[in-house]
A and B are shown apart, each in its own frame.
Chain A
Amino acid sequence: MGDHHHGPAKGLSRWLFTTNHKDIGTMYLWFSFSMFILGGAFAMIIRAELFQPGLQLVEPGFFNQMTTLHGLIMVFGAIMPSFVGLANWLIPMMIGAPDMALPRMNNWSFWILPPAFLLLASTLFMEGGAPAAGWTFYAPLSTTYAGPSVTYFIFCIHVLGLSSIMGSINIIATVMNMRAPGMTYMKMPLFVWTWLITAFLLVAVMPVLAGAVTMMLMDVHFNTSFFSAAGGGDPVLFQHVFWFFGHPEVYIIILPAFGVVSQIIPAFSRKPLFGYDSMVYATASIAFLSFIVWAHHMYTVGMPVAGELFFMYATMLIAVPTGVKVFNWISTMWRGALSFETPMLFSIGFLILFTIGGFTGLMLSIAPADFQYHDSYFVVAHFHYVMVAGAVFSMTAAIYFWLPKWCGRMYNETMGKTHFWISFIGFNLTFFPQHFVGLAGMPRRIPDYALQFADFNMMSSIGAFIYGASQILFLYNVIATIRAGDIVTDEKVWDGAEGLEWTVPTPAPYHTFETPPAVKG
């Protein structure tokens, strides 16, 4: 423990024992990408089965396991950890901190994830197969009718929750305590702001999910009756507890994506972000509203009319702060000196497609209309527009944007743009037709469908294969960049980029800001 810090250790121990936020960020990113590939493979099985009507490739029970694991792995394994990885890499550099506030716990937050997902994936090979009740695992499907694998699943959720809570506490402590002198709250980059608010949401709702799965565990093994009407409980209670977690969870996924886009669009518009203050307040408003809208996932469950109305109006209110954000991004680009490098393309793709997803969300928020849309492919289309074109597109943009800073090498721009256009076309080909089949009445989570949906489903499947294949190109581009990309040495990799992370050398040294930088007034 000398006065000067050492570089990274050699070999495997660097990764196993590390306390360095950049190492941990890198591990989170690679882990989430591998989960993205695994969850994507499950999606390919789903789309292959749905390529034509009739039972083609897999058993219906296995199909259900695929939809369940696809959802769980994408939400908890791919998207959430990817943004935690980004937070690890960037937050200390953006606020001028030497590392995360609690570095050893940071490492633990990461290392419990891979074994937890290994256990979850291993349920595929257990007697009775993997959990098959959907990623929302509603009771009693997940309790009364569940097999032994549900127990492992429940404990996995506990571990994932633990990881998220520790990760979030770390982020909150870092942002509240480690800002360089002069880095006031209202000077923080928007990515830091959105992550601070996301971390609050995580600390607030992951324990509620833990409560929900604990009630399941007790119902399955100890004969309690939380979700059994015969004992005075209610299966709908599960949905309330689950969605009290689940709706803020949606914003946990999308708020960091908002943050990323709010960094990238100004950089390639060569203008400061339009309406910084309103962006912060809009993010906080969305976070607040996310706690009082959960039952809009449950309109058809038989709630009293007063409940339906309350949740409908509260949900519609979210469109206001979200609209503020969308208009701010557009205003940032207005009369800017725009250029369209890959990160910008993905950000604009995000902006357009996320807005479509937002509008379909508004349609779904209308309680009487939702009676038609509920549990149809329209819902599938809606949340893939916000999850994939929202969260995943912005994550992809983030990788292209910051990768040169991280490794000191520039990615191949042509390949990046190709990746964008194939993704954009593949994505829309997959999910746009699903709006139509959904409105026409095709239910979600089924391995077979009526003949009139055949054409659109075939389009969807072809689109999915294209989108899936484009990720291989992405992986290749990232690896090629790290190994042999053109060297960049400018601190500011992008001429329009602003923020402390662009003031350190490129590639970013192992330790940055061991003494806090001066933040300009």
Chain B
Amino acid sequence: MTSQTSTEYEKYYVPEKSRLAICATIGLMLSIFGAASVMNDMTFGDPNEASSSWTIFYCGMFFFAATLFSWFRTAIRENIAGMNSAQLKKSYVLGMFWFIFSEVMFFLAFFGALFYVRNLVGPWLAGEGDGGRMNGMLWPGFEYAWPMMQTPQEAVGGAASQLVANSGTYISPHTSMAFADAHVWWHWLPLWNTLILLSSSFTCHVAHLGILAGDKKKFNLWLGITVLLGIIFLCLQALEYYEAYVEFGLTLNAGIYGSTFFMLTGFHGFHVFMGMTMLLIQLLRSVIGKQFTAEDHFGFEASSWYWHFVDVVWVFLFLFVYIL
């Protein structure tokens, strides 16, 4: 029998009542209803008809963001007030860890789609495999290569002449994101982005070492550099998208190459934005709020795990989307 007595046990703080969940629900539901309506207006709606979808979406997002702000503020204040036992802190650690795991699985769905398309679907559409003869009849003249610079639809001469039901018009890019199309290595943005993001993981780690040593100055400086590198990454990513759309003809409707490229890099970019915001908030908490000590800095630690996760995803992106 290995039980603690009740005097040794540090009570696990269970908040009594909270409006946060209901407010977050209202914000989230308004946001998704607004977002869905915006998209339906775009695809199915009458462009001349006035619609309040955007307003609903913005109201929802604002309300949601305000609730989350309040939620995290509450959690931080509880911690500062000393209400969090070591056991409760471990719950937060586990929560963050499994949240990141779920994010990994989200990216896995898109990487899985990429592998499936590149290794199986592409060759099949070009006539390989058991169904090859049928595909040969459906898409005569289609030759598979990656990056896919000609869609099956274009191979048969456009949407009007394809034999299967038409679901859209796909226009391939004339230049891909691959290194071979960049001509000079220092024009190749993904390389710079890789260097920036890898160094930001390093600077983030230096900031971590700083706070562990109780050196707030070092912590603030290196965390600031990390946030700055994150912002530079996002700017370069925006530049790359601009280049893709305007100069390369690589768009969302450029067939499966464009689809996988933008979804993978887009979701990654969104996660970089989230991670950068998280780190920025930790920086503000440290500089303005004078928070964090060598022993107690979980807000930063969790954000840094997220940042390293985003970095690892990028390494795989660089490898499978840009290089191979």
A residues in contact (CB < 8 Å) with B: 1, 5-6, 9, 13, 16-20, 97-99, 101-105, 107-108, 110-112, 115-116, 119, 140, 143-144, 147-148, 151-152, 154-156, 158-159, 162, 165, 168-170, 172-174, 176-178, 180-182, 203-208, 210-212, 214-215, 217-226, 228-234, 236-237, 240-241, 244, 302, 304-305, 511, 514-521
Q: How far is the CB of A127 from chain B (nearest CB, A)?
A: 9
Whether the Cβ atoms of A232 and B113 lie closer than 8 Å is no
**Distance A97 CA – B170 CA, assembled complex (angstroms):** 57
Q: How far is the CB of A152 from chain B (nearest CB, A)?
A: 5
B29 / chain A contacts, CB cutoff of 8 Å: 112, 115-116, 119, 159
Whether the Cβ atoms of B39 and A221 lie closer than 8 Å is yes
Do A226 and B256 form a contact, CB below 8 Å, given A108-B24, A155-B36, A221-B43?
A: yes
Whether the Cβ atoms of B91 and A177 lie closer than 8 Å is yes
Do A17 and B3 form a contact, CB below 8 Å, given A119-B33, A203-B101?
A: no
Do A230 and B121 form a contact, CB below 8 Å, given A19-B16, A241-B113?
A: no
B88 / chain A contacts, CB cutoff of 8 Å: 101
Whether the Cβ atoms of B151 and A225 lie closer than 8 Å is yes
**Distance A63 CA – B6 CA, assembled complex (angstroms):** 60
For residue B21, CB closer than 8 A to chain A, the reply is: yes
Closest residue of chain A to B256 (Cβ to Cβ) is: A232
30 contacts across the A-B interface (CB closer than 8 A): A1-B16, A9-B17, A98-B12, A102-B91, A103-B14, A104-B18, A155-B33, A165-B99, A169-B99, A178-B12, A178-B91, A208-B106, A208-B109, A211-B110, A215-B113, A215-B263, A217-B39, A220-B39, A221-B43, A226-B260, A229-B164, A230-B162, A233-B121, A234-B124, A234-B125, A240-B112, A241-B109, A304-B130, A305-B130, A511-B14
Whether the Cβ atoms of A17 and B14 lie closer than 8 Å is no
Closest residue of chain B to A222 (Cβ to Cβ) is: B252
Q: How far is the CB of A514 from chain B (nearest CB, A)?
A: 7
A17 / chain B contacts, CB cutoff of 8 Å: 17-19, 21-22
For residue B87, CB closer than 8 A to chain A, the reply is: yes
Q: How far is the CB of B184 from chain A (nearest CB, A)?
A: 29
Whether the Cβ atoms of B151 and A231 lie closer than 8 Å is yes
Q: How far is the CB of A46 from chain B (nearest CB, A)?
A: 27
Do A104 and B20 form a contact, CB below 8 Å, given A116-B29, A225-B255, A233-B256?
A: yes
Whether the Cβ atoms of B102 and A207 lie closer than 8 Å is yes
A158 / chain B contacts, CB cutoff of 8 Å: 32
Q: Which of the residues A152, A174, A229 comes within 8 Å of B152, measured between beta carbons?
A: A229
Closest residue of chain A to B158 (Cβ to Cβ) is: A230
For residue B248, CB closer than 8 A to chain A, the reply is: no
For residue B139, CB closer than 8 A to chain A, the reply is: yes
Do A224 and B33 form a contact, CB below 8 Å, given A103-B14, A172-B94, A217-B39?
A: no
B2 / chain A contacts, CB cutoff of 8 Å: 181-182, 521
Q: Which of the residues B15, B18, B95, B113 comes within 8 Å of A101, measured between beta carbons?
A: B95
B14 / chain A contacts, CB cutoff of 8 Å: 5, 19-20, 98-99, 103, 511
Do A521 and B12 form a contact, CB below 8 Å, given A101-B91, A226-B259?
A: no
Q: Which of the residues B9, B16, B18, B99 comes within 8 Å of A6, measured between beta carbons?
A: B16
Q: How far is the CB of A314 from chain B (nearest CB, A)?
A: 17
Whether the Cβ atoms of A518 and B1 lie closer than 8 Å is yes
Beyond A172-B98, A230-B151, A304-B129, 8 additional contacts (C-beta under 8 Å) are: A98-B14, A103-B14, A104-B71, A182-B1, A207-B105, A211-B109, A225-B170, A228-B168
Which of A147, A151, A162, A204: most chain B CB closer than 10 A?
A: A151
Do A19 and B255 form a contact, CB below 8 Å, given A148-B40, A520-B1?
A: no
B residues in contact (CB < 8 Å) with A: 1-4, 6, 9, 11-12, 14-22, 24-25, 28-29, 32-33, 35-37, 39-40, 42-44, 71, 87-88, 90-92, 94-95, 98-99, 101-103, 105-106, 108-110, 112-113, 116-117, 121-122, 124-125, 129-131, 138-139, 148, 151-153, 159, 162, 164-170, 252-253, 255-260, 262-263
B260 / chain A contacts, CB cutoff of 8 Å: 226
Closest residue of chain B to A101 (Cβ to Cβ) is: B91
Closest residue of chain A to B24 (Cβ to Cβ) is: A108
A203 / chain B contacts, CB cutoff of 8 Å: 98, 101-102, 105
A210 / chain B contacts, CB cutoff of 8 Å: 106, 109
Q: Which of the residues A108, A170, A208, A302 comes within 8 Å of B25, measured between beta carbons?
A: A108
Whether the Cβ atoms of B106 and A155 lie closer than 8 Å is no
Q: Which of the residues A101, A218, A234, A305 comes within 8 Å of B94, measured between beta carbons?
A: A101
A104 / chain B contacts, CB cutoff of 8 Å: 15, 18, 20-21, 71
A20 / chain B contacts, CB cutoff of 8 Å: 14
Q: How far is the CB of B107 from chain A (nearest CB, A)?
A: 8
**Distance A17 CA – B44 CA, assembled complex (angstroms):** 39
Which of A210, A231, A304: most chain B CB closer than 10 A?
A: A231
Q: How far is the CB of B274 from chain A (nearest CB, A)?
A: 15
**Distance A154 CA – B18 CA, assembled complex (angstroms):** 29
Closest residue of chain A to B20 (Cβ to Cβ) is: A104
Q: How far is the CB of B17 from chain A (nearest CB, A)?
A: 4
Whether the Cβ atoms of B263 and A111 lie closer than 8 Å is no
Whether the Cβ atoms of B152 and A232 lie closer than 8 Å is yes
Do A159 and B32 form a contact, CB below 8 Å, given A516-B3, A516-B9?
A: yes
Q: How far is the CB of B54 from chain A (nearest CB, A)?
A: 15
Q: How far is the CB of A465 from chain B (nearest CB, A)?
A: 36
Whether the Cβ atoms of B165 and A140 lie closer than 8 Å is yes
4 closest cross-chain pairs (CB), A and B: A211-B109, A518-B3, A232-B256, A224-B259
**Distance A111 CA – B14 CA, assembled complex (angstroms):** 19
**Distance A369 CA – B238 CA, assembled complex (angstroms):** 53
A244 / chain B contacts, CB cutoff of 8 Å: 109, 112
Q: Which of the residues B25, B40, B43, B121 comes within 8 Å of A112, measured between beta carbons?
A: B25
**Distance A261 CA – B2 CA, assembled complex (angstroms):** 30
Q: How far is the CB of A307 from chain B (nearest CB, A)?
A: 10
B6 / chain A contacts, CB cutoff of 8 Å: 515
Whether the Cβ atoms of B18 and A229 lie closer than 8 Å is no
Which of B12, B35, B110: most chain A CB closer than 10 A?
A: B12
**Distance A108 CA – B19 CA, assembled complex (angstroms):** 10
Closest residue of chain B to A144 (Cβ to Cβ) is: B167
**Distance A198 CA – B88 CA, assembled complex (angstroms):** 23
Closest residue of chain B to A214 (Cβ to Cβ) is: B263
Whether the Cβ atoms of A218 and B39 lie closer than 8 Å is no
Whether the Cβ atoms of B95 and A224 lie closer than 8 Å is no
Q: How far is the CB of A31 from chain B (nearest CB, A)?
A: 13
Q: How far is the CB of A62 from chain B (nearest CB, A)?
A: 20
Whether the Cβ atoms of B39 and A165 lie closer than 8 Å is no
Whether the Cβ atoms of A169 and B98 lie closer than 8 Å is yes
B39 / chain A contacts, CB cutoff of 8 Å: 151, 217, 220-221
**Distance A233 CA – B138 CA, assembled complex (angstroms):** 14
Closest residue of chain A to B31 (Cβ to Cβ) is: A155
B259 / chain A contacts, CB cutoff of 8 Å: 218, 224-226, 231, 233
B90 / chain A contacts, CB cutoff of 8 Å: 177
B256 / chain A contacts, CB cutoff of 8 Å: 225-226, 231-233
Do A231 and B17 form a contact, CB below 8 Å, given A101-B94, A176-B94?
A: no
A232 / chain B contacts, CB cutoff of 8 Å: 117, 121-122, 125, 148, 151-152, 170, 255-257
B170 / chain A contacts, CB cutoff of 8 Å: 223, 225, 228, 230-232
**Distance A98 CA – B12 CA, assembled complex (angstroms):** 7
Q: Which of the residues B18, B37, B101, B131 comes within 8 Å of A302, measured between beta carbons?
A: B131
Q: How far is the CB of B11 from chain A (nearest CB, A)?
A: 7
**Distance A16 CA – B170 CA, assembled complex (angstroms):** 49
Which of A170, A222, A226, A519: most chain B CB closer than 10 A?
A: A222
A221 / chain B contacts, CB cutoff of 8 Å: 39, 42-43
A520 / chain B contacts, CB cutoff of 8 Å: 1
